[in-house]
Amino acid sequence: MTSSAVQAPVARLVLRAPYLIFLADIRETGFAKTGLGIAQWCPEKCVGQLRLPGCAVDARLPDLDIAAARAAGARSLILGAAPIGGDIKPNWVETLCRAAEAGLDIVSGLHRPLSRIPGLADAAARGGGRLVEVRVPPPDIPIASGRKRSGLRLLAVGTDCAVGKKYSALSIARELQRRGLPATFRATGQTGIMIAGEGMPIDAVVCDFTAGAAEILSPDNAADHWDVIEGQGSLFHPAYAGVSLGLLHGSQADAIVVCHEAEREQMAGYAGYPVPDLQDCIDLHLQMGRRTNPSIRCVGVSINTARLPADRRRAYLEQCARRTGMPCVDPLVEGPAAIVDRMLGVCA
Amino acid sequence: MTSSAVQAPVARLVLRAPYLIFLADIRETGFAKTGLGIAQWCPEKCVGQLRLPGCAVDARLPDLDIAAARAAGARSLILGAAPIGGDIKPNWVETLCRAAEAGLDIVSGLHRPLSRIPGLADAAARGGGRLVEVRVPPPDIPIASGRKRSGLRLLAVGTDCAVGKKYSALSIARELQRRGLPATFRATGQTGIMIAGEGMPIDAVVCDFTAGAAEILSPDNAADHWDVIEGQGSLFHPAYAGVSLGLLHGSQADAIVVCHEAEREQMAGYAGYPVPDLQDCIDLHLQMGRRTNPSIRCVGVSINTARLPADRRRAYLEQCARRTGMPCVDPLVEGPAAIVDRMLGVCA
């Protein structure tokens, strides 16, 4: 265990908006999820999209070249495309270098470091912009203190990976803001960070510091302010449960929403590991979360029902609600209002 | 979550024995714990100690200079001293450079990288030895697979940090070996790694990979072989529980021993966080550990009784044994035989 708490001021991962979304020559929406998600969740941060010949996806933003994006105020080019393998295709390089030379920050969540793209570092040096790796945590993350912070926090947790934690957290934060309540979405994954413009890539933090990283992600705040925190992994996941627990402890969640995909029976990619029962998932999170916040409670279940036939959807949600005693919604269909009602009712 | 499983062969952190233990000019045993621990636990790996003028600690090894250590077969100089702040003192540098120039590996668990010590990298290049940072994990650690491995595993867990997990694991491994049974101590901290000559600095691993690192630390083995794994942190620790959970899941422990310090009521350095009840600690580890090994069980409690008055020791251990139904021993006093008896009885 690392013994020295770092007292230095903490550097933060902060992006510069507005964005030019680079969709490259992607032909299938599945490989442009990052770019499309940003355009959907924060169109106000996006001045346009940049598409290469052959691109077949559309974020419904104005098509701009680099000069036009610059003129429109763009400060960052966001790599919104993620081909198989997480690498950057050779025919993208010239565009990226020209954007860097024009002074745009180049923002990437891909595995391959931007500094290894031929010519890009030099172009950025000439243009005066930054190469920003969304997967790289800021320096000087402290060891968690366990000290209770002011303000309120909701954490979106899950029965597995990729069950809608980011979507649920975003929609709850938006619903709070729509009601005129003070709320901030706190991102822990790369797409979330690009949407929020800042955040903590929690799964890339050295494990001694995971809870500490979660603590600085949601600092002290006004007593009635909600941080709505994007969860990662699952306490039941054979590979990632440690990340999930560090995030739960450091978040000191006052409330959790459990996210789940209807009809998923096995953990994705982990044959032999069943997806936990919803109530077991609620119970374990409350049990573990009490260690750093004794008043933690569950305020709802957020279910991705896309794989359910339309005629079974409502019965499925009602059955979940009966069994858990919680509001159970698909935020994409019903919206998160029922969860937000419960959360404000029990935590205010 | 990182999505690509790495298939490449895994590099391992392996030290070269025999060792020359460098105690520098340390005056208090507390700052030479690493060196003294190595000399105590693996004297057969140590050809001697190297002490500078003013050194007031003694590992009871022959005093050798670098030439004599080389002649006696030494292959590594182990930095056995850790002054406050974890740095290397200026007056140690000349000795370290001469050792590197003579071809010894220089092995350090201190925070300051060896590569930043003036002249040391050049000296190592000339001598042909390595600069080995015990705090730096090997590259290419995979994401945990959750696949059940062959062989048996015991994990020493704890109610807090620094309660005797390393000592307990070492003494249990030695007891198994003394009985002629196949057993390997698996180290997860810096001193443990130096004693074992290899291991995994688990708390320095990026958190997405913690359970994967634990998986490669204790690979498939013969059906009756025991890996005795040094635990880290505590599932109840507000900063380190995520490390502990990743290690528990990846270890797929068949058995746990819960380590505890008598009379410790608060988590060290965490006011307001009480040390958990022994039975609660056993229960939570079994509950969480079942996710990757449904047949996990507790086989004993290992208690550091140093702070108890002699006349209360036995009553304290008997009370713990009554309350938990487990053999409860101080391995430093009674030895771990009672725990090993239980472990072999229930897990064989």
pLDDT at B234 exceeding the cut of 50: yes
Nearest CA in chain A to B109: A2
Burial of B46 (0-12, 13-18, 19+ CB in 10 A): buried
Q: Which of A211, A140, A242, A143 is nearest to B208 (CA)?
A: A242
Nearest to B241 among A145, A202, A246 (CB): A246
pLDDT of A7 reads 39
Which part of chain A is CATH 3.40.50.720? 13-133
Check residue A6 and give its pLDDT: 37
Distance CA B305, CA B307 (A): 6
Residues of CATH 3.40.50.300 domain(s) within chain B?
A: 152-347
Q: Is the pLDDT of residue B86 over 90?
A: no
**Which amino acid is it at B13?**
L
User: Of the candidates B143, B212, B242, which has its C-beta nearest A245's C-beta?
Assistant: B242
Res A198 pLDDT > 90:
yes
Confidence of residue B3 (pLDDT cuts 50, 70, 90): very low
Distances in whole angstroms, Cα of residue A321 to Cα of each of A165, A309, A316, A339, A341: 19, 18, 9, 11, 15
- pLDDT 10s digits, A232-280: 999 999 999 999 999 999 999 999 999 999 999 999 999 999 999 999 9
User: What pLDDT band is residue A82 in, cutting at 50, 70 and 90?
Assistant: confident
**At the top level of CATH, which class does the domain B152-347 belong to?**
alpha beta
Chain B: give the shortest CA distance to residue A42, in Å.
23
Per-residue pLDDT at A10 exceeds 60? no
CB atoms A4 and B111 under 8 Å: yes
Residue A5's pLDDT band (boundaries 50, 70, 90)? very low
Judged against a pLDDT cut of 60, whether residue A313 lies above it is answered with: yes
Distance from CA of A95 to the nearest CA of B (A): 27
**Residue A242 tokens, joined:** 């440690």
Does residue B145 sit at the A interface (CB-CB below 8 Å)?
Answer: yes
pLDDT at B110: 87
Q: Are the beta carbons of B155 and B229 closer than 8 angstroms?
A: yes
Q: State how far the Cα of A180 lies from the Cα of A184, in Å rounded to an integer.
A: 12
- Of the pLDDT bands very low, low, confident and very high (cuts 50, 70, 90), residue B299 is very high
- The predicted-structure confidence for A37-59, as pLDDT tens digits, reads as follows 999 999 999 999 999 999 999 99
Q: Which residue of A has its CA nearest to B248?
A: A242
CA distance A117 to A15: 20
Over 70: is that where the pLDDT of A2 sits? Answer: no
User: How far apart (Å, rounded) are the C-alpha atoms in residues B90 and B118?
Assistant: 10
pLDDT score at B11: 67
Average pLDDT, chain B: 94
* Domain B13-133: CATH architecture, name and number where available: 3-Layer(aba) Sandwich (3.40)
DSSP H or E run through B300: strand B297-304
Which of B85, B210, B270 has the CB atom closest to A146's CB atom?
Answer: B270
Q: Name A314's Cβ contacts closer than 8 Å, sequence gap at least 6.
A: none
B233 contacts A1? CB cut-off 8 A: yes
Minimal CA separation from B215 to chain A, in Å: 10
Residues of B in contact with A239 (CB under 8 A): 1, 143-146, 208, 211-212, 249
- Residue-by-residue DSSP string for B205-274: SBGGGHHHHHHHHS----TTPEEEEEP-S-TT-TTTHHHHHHHHHHHT-SEEEEEEETT--B-TT-TT-B
Contacts 24+ apart (CB under 8 A), B276-280: B276/B159, B276/B234, B276/B236, B278/B159, B278/B320, B278/B323, B278/B324, B279/B323, B279/B324
Position A207 pLDDT exceeds 50: yes
Tell me the mean pLDDT in the region B133-139.
94
Nearest of B140, B141, B137, B138 to residue B250 by alpha carbon: B141
- Beta-sheet pairing, B255-261 with B297-304: parallel
A31 has a chain B CB within 8 A of its CB: no
pLDDT surpasses 70 at A3: no
**Residue B111: predicted pLDDT:** 80
Is the CB of A1 less than 8 angstroms away from the CB of B292?
no
* Helix B241-251 / helix B210-217 crossing angle, nearest 10 deg: 40
pLDDT digits (tens, 9 = 90+) for A104-141: 999 999 888 999 999 999 999 999 999 999 999 999 99
pLDDT digits (tens, 9 = 90+) for B31-65: 998 999 999 999 999 999 999 999 999 999 999 99
Which of B8 and B106 is assigned the larger pLDDT? B106
Residue B136 pLDDT greater than 50, yes or no = yes
Nearest CA to CA, how far is B292 from chain A (Å)?
A: 7
Q: Under 8 Å CB-to-CB from B238, ≥6 apart: which residues?
A: A144, A145, A146, A211, A249, A291, A292, B267, B270, B273
Q: Pick A232's closest partner by Cβ from B1, B239, B291.
A: B1
- Which residues in chain A have their CB less than 8 angstroms from residue B207's CB? 202-207, 210, 242-243, 246
Average pLDDT over residues B307-319: 95
For residue B215, what are the CA distances in angstroms to B10, B209, B297? 11, 10, 19
Query: Closest Cα to residue B218, out of B236, B237, B196?
Result: B196
Give residue A142's region: left, alpha or beta (phi > 0; psi -120 to 50): beta
Closest alpha carbon within chain A to B207 = A207
Q: What is the pLDDT of residue A241?
A: 98
The pLDDT assigned to B5 comes to 38
Q: Quote the minimal CA–CA distance from A265 to chain B in Å.
A: 15
DSSP state of B49: E
**Cβ contact, residue pair A1, B236, below 8 Å:** no
Is-contact B244 B232, C-beta < 8 A? yes
Q: Is the pLDDT of residue B7 over 50?
A: no
Nearest CA in chain B to A238: B146
Greater confidence (B82 vs A270) lies with A270
Closest by Cα among A83, A30, A26, A84 to A50: A26
> pLDDT averaged over chain A?
94
Under an 8 A CB cutoff, do A242 and B161 touch? no
Residue of B nearest to A251 (CA): B238
pLDDT at A106: 97
Alpha helices, H only, A102-164: 120-127
Query: Cα(B281)–Cα(B260) distance, rounded to whole angstroms?
Result: 10
CA–CA dist B248, B235 (Å, integer): 9
Classify B187 in phi/psi space as left (phi over 0), alpha (psi -120 to 50) or beta: beta
A147/chain B closest Cα distance in angstroms: 9
According to the model, what pLDDT value does residue A112 have?
Answer: 85
Pure H helices in chain A: 33-41, 66-71, 93-101, 120-127, 165-178, 190-196, 210-217, 241-251, 278-289, 310-324, 337-347
